[in-house]
């Protein structure tokens, strides 16, 4: 039987396990990336592992999230990251060099290799034919230390593309269409492979827009073949030698096949407050727009920006609209400046922001109260923009630019001049924004700079055999890590300071949660479906752990979050009967007995008054050991890597 792309890359990197869906596989990891908001925790963990130097082929620390520097905190974190990277053999991408996923695609990703990154959009590199996973910082630290990365062997989905996109329709619309079809939990437990004749018409950055938003589907990862298009992209980046052809066998078997005819697609828009709340742009053309933001790791490539520049050229944006542009990398910005496109953008009235995540994570440019914000980003969760009642819509760069001009949501298919943009034969290459680490000798004496914002890694407690605790919070379906541990300019600078962060845990759902959790011993959280979707931030596990949460019970969990809970020593359980969700209430006291047996046998029984509730506990032997040790760091400390 033939193999899929993912099965081939997994087979070539498998250290143990078997490839039956549902079994655990241990993978050798070739490359790692971190970003600053999750990186500080990852490197604190690495320092605790007593490994002098990383063991991967390439590890890189990007600074792209926390670049506002409204006080000493972010700057201290940057210094810490730069010094720890230099010492441990990690390259350092300086603030301003660009968004991790965009820079990685341009300069470092390699077809056929494995990559894990402490950011949920790491699958962006799947656009190059790389098998790339988002992971918690602790898992990334373990991989840097030479440890395996463990995944549950996913099912294989295939999306067949036919035809080609019409002018005004883009890769972003393909991403939004698949979200409409599958929803934010439709990709859970699956790897999504993209194929069919239609992919030949998509450039690498377009493919990367699609694999990037596979994260919003909850997919384990997404991947395209590495073909002639990939080869040309790598050659244009001066990296022809990095190319290897990667493709699925013709007789590869998929669990589900979805067909999309690119020629039939029209511009799509995700409405507030979920990326799968997808409609057609044309339906919403009476909505007035206050703000338009173009950029983020989904849509900040040179081609995206050139198309925007061409739409804006010689025109002015509507007076009531604020337009921001954040090119994805210094390479993109330099090339825009050189060819004059930047001038066209600026002349239209746009505001130029740094090559960083910026407004995507609430780092500036929050909308006005109740404001309508059109963004080329990938997430529009409630409050994420920094404005609690902001109405955030997700669109393509073409829709964004067309709407900025008219001041209303505008279907770009209705404007006359949609330019055709082709990628250059040669990109401008300047890697001076990436600092090489010290050599091994110099590294021995190098000092890691630790400002007062860097606090200790919080300590997990071993899971006991029985637990009595109360439900401190009951929440609904699709709770995101942005609900659990919000980001934004006010809070993000404290990502290395768990005690401070803890004051904001679940702020959007229930501001009294932190105090209540602290006052309860053995707190339990009750969630619905897809609990913990979205970001890879392990703070969404570490902070509840710090507040005394020992167990989360949900109808189902998102992949990265459940791994983060286990790594933090929090027991994740799923309701065997979903109806029990309605029976349980905030404040109920639950008694869990024989947890160790339950972990082994797959079910734990909770007693609430005189009622018994069956909870599924699907943990591998390794995960059980991690929980019994009190989290991944303790497990590694006991020789478990």
Where on the chain is the footprint of ligand MIC (CB under 6 A)?
37-38, 65, 119-121, 134, 361, 379, 487, 534-537
The torsion angles phi and psi of 514, rounded to 5 degrees, stand at -60, -45
Which of ligand MIC, ligand SF4, none does residue 537 bind (CB under 5 to 8 Å by kind)? ligand MIC
Which CB sits closer to ligand MIC, 5 or 540?
A: 540
- Least CB distance to ligand SF4 at residue 119 (A): 5
Which CB sits closer to ligand MIC, 403 or 535?
A: 535
Of 379, 375, 389, 381, the residue nearest 322 (C-alpha): 375
In whole angstroms, how large is the CA radius of gyration of the chain?
23
Which CB sits closer to ligand MIC, 101 or 550?
A: 101
360 sits near ligand SF4 (criterion: CB under 6 A): yes
The CA angle 430-434-440, to the nearest 5 degrees, is 130
Within 284-434, residue ranges assigned H as helices are 302-312, 330-339, 341-347, 397-406
x/- binding map, residues 290-309, to ligand SF4, per CB under 6 A? Answer: ------xx------------
* Distance between CA atoms of residues 461 and 546, nearest Å: 10
Q: Which stretch binds ligand SF4 (CB under 6 A): 353-361, 400-408, 478-486, 499-507?
A: 353-361
105 sits near ligand SF4 (criterion: CB under 6 A): no
Interacting residue with ligand SF4 among 36, 73, 76, 119 (CB under 6 A): 119
Q: Which residue(s) pair with 195 in the sheet?
A: 160
Which CB sits closer to ligand SF4, 522 or 535?
A: 535
Which of ligand SF4, ligand MIC, none does residue 230 bind (CB under 5 to 8 Å by kind)? none
**Residues 412, 374: contact at Cβ < 8 Å?**
no
Number of H helices, E strands in the chain: 22, 27
Within 197-264, residue ranges assigned H as helices are 204-212, 228-236
Q: Which stretch binds ligand SF4 (CB under 6 A): 223-231, 335-343, 356-364, 562-570?
A: 356-364
Residues 6 or more apart whose CB falls under 8 angstroms from that of 337 comprise none
- Contacts to ligand SF4 from residues 368-427, by CB under 6 A: 377-378
- Least CB distance to ligand MIC at residue 530 (A): 15
165 sits near ligand SF4 (criterion: CB under 6 A): no
The torsion angles phi and psi of 622, rounded to 5 degrees, stand at -65, -40
- Contacts to ligand SF4 from residues 505-564, by CB under 6 A: none
Q: Which stretch binds ligand SF4 (CB under 6 A): 189-197, 302-310, 357-365, 542-550?
A: 357-365
Which of ligand MIC, ligand SF4, none does residue 99 bind (CB under 5 to 8 Å by kind)? ligand SF4
* Distance between CA atoms of residues 519 and 533, nearest Å: 27
Which of ligand SF4, ligand MIC, none does residue 38 bind (CB under 5 to 8 Å by kind)? ligand MIC
Q: How far is CA 272 from CA 183, 199, 375, in A?
A: 14, 30, 11
- Contacts to ligand SF4 from residues 62-101, by CB under 6 A: 65, 99
- Least CB distance to ligand SF4 at residue 154 (A): 22
Residues 6 or more apart whose CB falls under 8 angstroms from that of 342 comprise 309, 333, 336, 352
Go through the chain and tell me how many residues it has.
641
Bridge-based pairing state of the strands 322-325 and 291-294: parallel
HSE value, Cβ hemisphere, 13 Å, CA-based, for 412: 30
- Least CB distance to ligand SF4 at residue 298 (A): 7
- Least CB distance to ligand SF4 at residue 9 (A): 23
36 sits near ligand SF4 (criterion: CB under 6 A): no
Interacting residue with ligand SF4 among 262, 361, 590, 604 (CB under 6 A): 361
Q: How far is CA 245 from CA 86, 162, 170, 211, 421, in A?
A: 33, 21, 25, 18, 26
SS3 81: helix
125 sits near ligand SF4 (criterion: CB under 6 A): no
CB atoms within 10 A of CB 323: 25
Which CB sits closer to ligand SF4, 117 or 267?
A: 117
Which CB sits closer to ligand SF4, 536 or 623?
A: 536
Which of ligand SF4, ligand MIC, none does residue 63 bind (CB under 5 to 8 Å by kind)? none
Give the residues lining the site for ligand SF4 (CB under 6 A). 65, 99, 119, 121, 296-297, 357, 360-361, 377-378
């Amino acid at each position: 039987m033939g193999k899929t792309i993912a099965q081939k890359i997994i087979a070539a990197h498998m250290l143990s396990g078997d490839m039956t869906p549902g079994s655990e596989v241990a993978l050798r990891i070739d490359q790692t990336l971190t970003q600053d908001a999750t990186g500080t925790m990852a490197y604190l963990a690495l320092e605790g592992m007593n490994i002098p130097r990383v063991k991967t082929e390439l590890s890189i620390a990007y600074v792209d999230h926390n670049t506002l520097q409204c006080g000493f905190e972010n700057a201290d974190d940057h210094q810490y990251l730069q010094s720890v990277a230099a010492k441990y053999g990690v390259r350092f991408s300086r603030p301003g060099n660009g968004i991790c996923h965009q820079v990685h695609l341009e300069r470092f990703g390699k077809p056929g290799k494995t990559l894990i990154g402490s950011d949920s959009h790491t699958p962006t590199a799947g656009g190059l034919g790389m098998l790339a996973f988002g992971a918690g910082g602790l898992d990334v630290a373990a991989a840097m230390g030479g440890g395996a990365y463990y995944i549950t062997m996913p099912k294989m989905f295939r999306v067949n593309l036919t035809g080609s996109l019409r002018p005004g329709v883009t890769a972003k619309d393909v991403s939004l269409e698949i979200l409409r079809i599958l929803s934010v939990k439709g990709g859970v437990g699956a790897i999504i492979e993209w194929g069919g004749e239609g992919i030949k018409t998509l450039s690498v950055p377009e493919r990367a827009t699609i694999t990037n938003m596979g994260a919003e589907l909850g997919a384990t990862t997404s991947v395209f073949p590495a073909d002639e298009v990939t080869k040309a992209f790598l050659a244009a980046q001066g990296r022809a030698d990095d190319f290897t052809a990667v493709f699925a066998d013709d007789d590869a078997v998929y669990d589900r096949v979805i067909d999309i005819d690119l020629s039939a697609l029209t511009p799509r828009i995700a409405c507030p407050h979920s990326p799968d709340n997808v409609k057609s742009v044309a339906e919403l053309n009476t909505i007035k727009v206050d703000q338009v933001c173009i950029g983020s790791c989904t849509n900040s490539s040179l081609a995206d920006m050139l198309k925007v520049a061409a739409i804006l050229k010689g025109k002015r944006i509507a007076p009531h609209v604020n337009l921001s542009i954040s090119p994805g990398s210094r390479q993109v910005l330099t090339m825009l400046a050189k060819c004059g496109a930047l001038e066209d953008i600026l002349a239209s009235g746009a505001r130029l922001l740094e090559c960083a995540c910026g407004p995507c994570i609430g780092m500036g440019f929050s909308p006005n109260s109740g404001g309508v914000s059109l963004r080329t980003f990938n997430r529009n969760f409630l409050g994420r923009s920094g404005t609690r009642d902001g109405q955030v819509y997700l669109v393509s760069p073409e829709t964004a630019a067309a709407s900025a001009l008219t001041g209303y949501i505008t279907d770009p298919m209705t404007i006359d001049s949609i330019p055709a943009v082709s990628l250059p034969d040669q990109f401008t290459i300047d890697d001076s924004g990436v600092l090489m680490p010290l050599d091994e000798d110099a590294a021995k004496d190098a000092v890691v700079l630790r400002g007062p914002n860097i606090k200790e890694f919080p300590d997990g407690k071993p899971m006991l055999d029985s637990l009595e605790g109360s439900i401190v919070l009951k929440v609904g379906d699709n709770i995101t890590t942005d609900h659990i541990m919000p980001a934004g300019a006010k809070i993000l600078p404290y990502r290395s300071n768990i005690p401070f962060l803890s004051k904001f845990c679940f702020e959007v759902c229930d501001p009294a949660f932190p105090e209540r959790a602290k006052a309860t011993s053995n707190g339990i959280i009750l969630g619905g479906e897809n609990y913990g979707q979205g970001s890879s931030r392990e703070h969404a596990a570490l902070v509840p752990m710090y507040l005394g949460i020992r167990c989360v019970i949900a109808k189902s969990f998102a992949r990265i979050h459940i791994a983060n809970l286990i790594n933090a020593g929090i027991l994740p359980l799923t309701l065997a009967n979903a109806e029990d969700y309605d029976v349980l209430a905030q404040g109920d006291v639950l008694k869990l007995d024989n947890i160790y047996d339950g972990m082994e046998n797959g079910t734990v029984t909770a007693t609430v008054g005189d009622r018994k509730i069956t909870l599924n506990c699907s943990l591998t032997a390794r995960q059980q050991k991690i929980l019994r040790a009190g989290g991944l760091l303790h497990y590694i400390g006991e020789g478990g890597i």
